[in-house]
Chain A
Amino acid sequence: MSTEPEVSFTNKIDQEIKIEPKDWMPEQYRKMLIRQISQHAHSEIVGMLPEGNWITRAPSLKRKATLIAKVQDEAGHGLYLYSAAETLGISRQEMLDQLHSGKAKYSSIFNYPTLTWADIGAIGWLVDGAAIMNQVPLCRSSFGPYARAMVRICKEESFHQRQGFEILLTLSRGSDAQRAMAQDALNRWWWPSVMMFGPKDDESPNTLQSMRWKIKRFSNDELRQKFIDVCAEQVKFLNLELPDEHLKWNEETRHYDFGPINWTEFWQVVNGNGPCNKQRLDARRKAHDDGQWVRDAAAAYADKKRQQQSQAAA
């Protein structure tokens, strides 16, 4: 038996009417959103670390300015998403605690190291590319604040991908050593990017309910296939290769076939044993702890101001 608010909730979902924070919603819907949005926010924030690693070593002033702008955007994305999650009743502090204690997950792609400058190109093209593939349909997500945050984010993402591709394009037209560096970056980033879409549909227990509630619009495998189809075409402009000997256009399915994904590696990284999991979390915690005196000082200053104002008024 469905109660009255449940019926009205389901009707809204069916009619593509957005759910807003004060509307009634099933507890499971709220939980699922908090999990997804906060994980998404953590990914934006932790995602600044591998790229931030190259800001001081970018090869030109133009590249440095671009990279700073991109990393700053990612900080903004994290903030939009934390705010969206907060409308569901979880506090910022709680989310940060979950991230810092290791309880909350973030995208496992950010647990890989950025070894050369070409990695910044590969991240922009592939990692931001995969993120965009995932995020564009989320602009129509059924929860209003999440959908609106995603619209803002998607507007900003497109330069991220283009600057990455431009880095690779420049390297691919450079010396042999530069071409080799670009190829090496693709070799290392391709499969982790393909895994960014998450486990296969039949191993992703939440997908069905999430799609029924129109939080997600496409399954992991659908998005993954789309991404591979697009990249297999784009790589031709680079005269480089994606490291998959099985990658081949299939006239019948009208999609690219691709080779087996190393799911053991995926689960290893998700469960904390990737190349940089510890380093990322340590950096994150240190940044937070080192900022404590700034937060304290700002709060003390605001308190003092308020007291002065109330004294002046008295």
Chain B
Amino acid sequence: MNQDWPLWEVFIRGRQGLDHKHVGSLHAADAAMAIENARDVYTRRMEGISIWVVESRNIHASNPEEASSLYDPANDKPYRHPTFYDLPEALKHM
């Protein structure tokens, strides 16, 4: 038997109150092993308090070559940003 273990993406919450952040990937036979390996590979110095693992084949990604059309709807809407509006300098707390 020569079966390659699937690839998993690893996400770690660094501290309470922070998002889980992608830190890398690893191979493991199943989810439990992926979490244990992630602990050994990515949190040897207390870098995390919570680990998510997701099998890489379950991640669907946008295509970078389609970036311009994908993000086009947001491209011409500067009025969504606070700096778009001209207000007097003297106005405070707005």
Contacts and interface: CB of A to CB of B under 8 A. Distances in A.
B54 to A, nearest CB: 14
A299 B65 CA distance: 37
B29 A93 contact: no
A76 B1 CA distance: 26
A86 B30 contact: no
Interface in A80-126: 80, 83, 86, 91-93
Interface residues of B, number: 20
B24 A149 contact: yes
Q: Is the interface of A mostly helix, strand, loop or mixed?
A: helix
A302 interface: yes
A153 B26 CA distance: 16
B94 interface: no
* A-side interface size class: 20 to 34
A69 B40 CA distance: 11
B57 to A, nearest CB: 13
Contact of A22 (B4, B29, B45, B61): B61
Nearest to A78: B41
A41 to B, nearest CB: 13
Contacts, number: 52
A257 interface: no
A200 to B, nearest CB: 35
Contact of A299 (B3, B7, B25, B44): B3
A40 to B, nearest CB: 15
A83 B26 contact: yes
Contacts of B65: 24
Interface in B1-26: 1, 3-5, 7, 24-26
15 contacts: A22-B61, A22-B64, A76-B44, A80-B41, A83-B25, A86-B25, A92-B27, A149-B24, A156-B45, A295-B5, A298-B29, A299-B1, A299-B29, A302-B29, A302-B33
Closest 4 CB pairs of A and B: A298-B29, A302-B29, A302-B30, A299-B3
Given A83-B24, A86-B7, 8 more contacts: A20-B64, A24-B65, A69-B44, A92-B27, A93-B4, A298-B29, A299-B1, A305-B30
